[in-house]
Amino acid sequence: MPEIAAPRRKRNLWTAVTMALLTSIGVAVWQLWPASAPAVSVPDRVCDKRLSGKIAADLLPEEGEPYWENTGDGFGVPHDGPTPDCTIAADDREVSVEYFRYLDTDMHKYRHKAREEAELVASIPGSVPLRLGEARGHASKRAAILLLNCPMRGYPGTVTASVYGMSGFPPDSSDVKAFAELTAETLRLAARDVYKCGSSPSLPTGSPTLGRPRAE
């Protein structure tokens, strides 16, 4: 019996030692392993509840610091004074959402500024033409803009809606479609609710149309 019991106790000892070592190693690895970042929760409506949170979420990281926004007073409603903008953000990524109306009056000519802004986005390598009904513009990996004819009191006018990635986008990020969709959503809001453009009924629901990309 002693010849049998001794090896069994030895095997049990080695098993216990092995399990203890594996447990120690597991605890050490668990302590050194970085904790996973919390999921980012984007509200159903963003920018003072004027825009779709589902569309906005496509431009923000899925994990990291919580969602926050900074929205100017009167975003999405008729207003006097400077056009308010909206910044949406999560973790280290920030996105600016804006709209504006440029007018050519007897005293001042501003509509060319809308075209210049669109040309800047169009000049980005990889940008694509963007269309939503009668609105035209461009979209890229970091920005999108749409222009819509919108006169006021007999003066020619152009409404712009634009979305820009301000910071935190990885070098290999490609969010052309997401930028285009949030820009389309912003233009519908500006044309229908803010500036009451006569051409706003021409803006269809759903995704805008993307053309062929420019050469890189």
User: How many Cβ atoms sit within 10 Å of the Cβ of residue 58?
Assistant: 14
Cα 25–chain centre separation? 42
Residues 135-170 pLDDT 10s: 999 999 899 999 999 998 889 999 999 999 998 887
Over its C-alpha atoms, the chain yields an Rg (Å, rounded) of 27
Distance, CA of 97 to CA of 55 (rounded, Å)? 12
Distance, CA of 216 to CA of 213 (rounded, Å)? 8
The answer to whether 98 and 144 have CB atoms below 8 angstroms apart is: no
What are the helix (H) ranges across 136-197? Answer: 176-189
Three-state secondary-structure class, residue 10 = helix
Distance, CA of 12 to CA of 24 (rounded, Å)? 18
Residues 83-134 pLDDT 10s: 889 999 999 999 999 999 999 888 889 899 999 999 999 998 889 999 999 9
User: How many Cβ atoms sit within 10 Å of the Cβ of residue 65?
Assistant: 14
pTM: 0.80
The tokens describing 36, both together, are 């996973």
Q: How far from each other are the two terminal CA atoms of the chain, in whole angstroms? A: 81
Three-state secondary-structure class, residue 99 = strand
The answer to whether 146 and 133 have CB atoms below 8 angstroms apart is: no
Residues 7-61 pLDDT 10s: 443 343 344 334 434 444 444 444 544 557 788 999 999 999 999 999 999 999 9
Residues 178-216 pLDDT 10s: 999 999 999 999 999 999 998 888 899 989 999 987 655
